[in-house]
């Protein structure tokens, strides 16, 4: 897949300059000064997000039918950091070993199937 990957600190980053944002820190870190503001800028930019966090982003959880979203908020260090996200924006990715059958539930696609790894909207071409 053609493209370029970059990483950096929280200062001086414009999420609109990217086609995809990776959320790759532990959940409590998103409330840190600088990071909180960058996360808010990501939400307002409407750029698709891929999460490999230790727990799914709260807006992603909101999409799961049958869950009491408000009852789950106390599980997050600061649930307000997610307030400006459209629930359809972030996606949770589960890293798995292709050879680990215990990483799948019965009826799921094979581990490593691209459709099983990222269910987000189409990235700009």
Is 104 contained in some domain? no
Please give the tally of structural domains in the chain.
1
Q: Span 74-100, mean pLDDT?
A: 80
Q: Average pLDDT of the chain?
A: 78
Is 115 contained in some domain? no
In 3D space, the residue among 70, 112, 69 whose CA is nearest the CA of residue 93 turns out to be 112
Helix/strand/coil for 79: helix
Under the phi-then-psi rule, with left for phi > 0, alpha for psi from -120 to 50, and beta for the rest, what region is 59? alpha
> pLDDT, tens digit, for every residue of 94-107?
555 554 454 545 55
Is 22 contained in some domain? yes
Residue 33 belongs to domain spanning: 16-94
Q: Span 9-24, mean pLDDT?
A: 89
Is 46 contained in some domain? yes
Query: How much is the pLDDT for 118?
Result: 42
> What are 45's two structure tokens?
């930019």
- The Cα–Cα gap between 76 and 3 comes to 33
């Amino acid at each position: 897949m053609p493209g370029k990957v970059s990483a950096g600190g929280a200062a001086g980053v414009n999420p609109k300059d990217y086609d995809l944002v990776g959320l790759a820190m532990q959940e409590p870190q998103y409330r840190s000064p600088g990071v909180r503001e960058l996360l808010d800028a990501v939400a307002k930019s409407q750029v698709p997000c891929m999460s490999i966090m230790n727990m799914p982003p709260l807006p992603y959880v909101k999409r799961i039918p049958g869950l009491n979203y408000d009852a789950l908020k106390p599980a997050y260090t600061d649930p307000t950091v997610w307030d400006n996200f459209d629930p359809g924006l972030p996606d949770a990715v589960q890293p798995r070993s292709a050879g680990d059958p215990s990483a799948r539930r019965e009826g799921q696609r094979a581990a490593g199937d691209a459709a099983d790894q990222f269910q987000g909207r189409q990235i700009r071409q």
